[in-house]
Structure 1
């Protein structure tokens, strides 16, 4: 039986062996009970790693025309594309609506202030007169 191990798997195994050797070298300075607990934990981790099957393969690189993308199997259907675009369109429409409503509210507030100034008993120039501001302060204090 001729089985070839991928190069990345060989590199992973070598890295794992180097890490294990480094950890084992550091064990000699630890007390015996701690070293034994670490050895048992390491053995359990290796056993779990060997038992765990690979759940899915890495996505393949798919090239379409001049662009490349990661594909995880199955293409993007029309419903998926529509489902990703609709929330974006709804968000933009909501933001535009909020902006328009705020502009209208500001304009109506300014119009109310302007109409109150123009239809009031005093001329608009009175509001800029420093004597009038002093009169309002003294009038408010006398009441």
Structure 2
């Protein structure tokens, strides 16, 4: 059984026992005279004030090194498990993520450039009347790729 667990279990049992004793004493205190009841109440408040507070649960580990500097000593617990290979793997992941972001940016930039170039080529090579350029649906017409297939011959 873990030492911390057994210590906490023991404190829990002590607290339960204390609550049962307090309940029993409280039930019997009603029949006592007033002055004795007041002294018991004051004593109970003092005992509660002195009660040991539960300690915080602390994770215990063994120090890997002790460094001495003059009259002071410092405990070293080492790193959190990231050795050379762990740090190298982390750095490799950062490099791969950066390369991926650059590749996405280049791909999107090339895609936009090709879209604009195709639109310009369609505008420059097609026989369209000047009124077509003023039409609000003209850009949509060019994007759907219908240029040259259903274009009316205006002369």
- Give the greater-gyration-radius structure (CA): 2
Q: By the TM > 0.5 criterion, same fold? A: no
TM-score, normalising length: structure 1: 0.41
Structure with more of its chain in helix, by fraction: 1
TM-score (norm 2): 0.39
